Amino acid sequence: MVSQWILKWTGIGHEVTFQNVKSKTYLGAPGEIADNVQVIGTNRAVAFNLVKAESGYILQVASNGKVLSVRGGESADETPVIFYHSNEADDQKWYFEGA
């Protein structure tokens, strides 16, 4: 399943938010952002830094350094995305395509 997101600059440094084209919600969490918390769509925008990796980008939460990670490094469709500490594994690298 492909999701479309709008990257919005926050006006602070290189921080951006990700807004879903269809639902208009932002990448976020139901509460505190911590290891193993599942990423959800929320009305509260979370600022991320795009960190260039050898290939792709690591999406790092600006406020606490947690990154987006595919749970367990799985590649199956519908595998949840979680917040996790950065280990620069492939399941934490993201790629962008123009719409």
- The class of domain 5-92 in CATH terms is mainly beta
Q: pLDDT: is 99 or 37 the higher one? A: 37
DSSP state, 65?
A: -
Q: pLDDT tens digit string along 34-81? A: 999 999 999 999 999 999 999 999 999 999 999 999 998 877 778 899
Predicted model pTM: 0.90
**What are the domain boundaries of the chain?**
5-92
The whole-number pLDDT of residue 1 equals 56
Measured between alpha carbons, how far is 87 from 84 in angstroms, rounded to an integer? 9
Q: Which two tokens stand for residue 98?
A: 């123009």
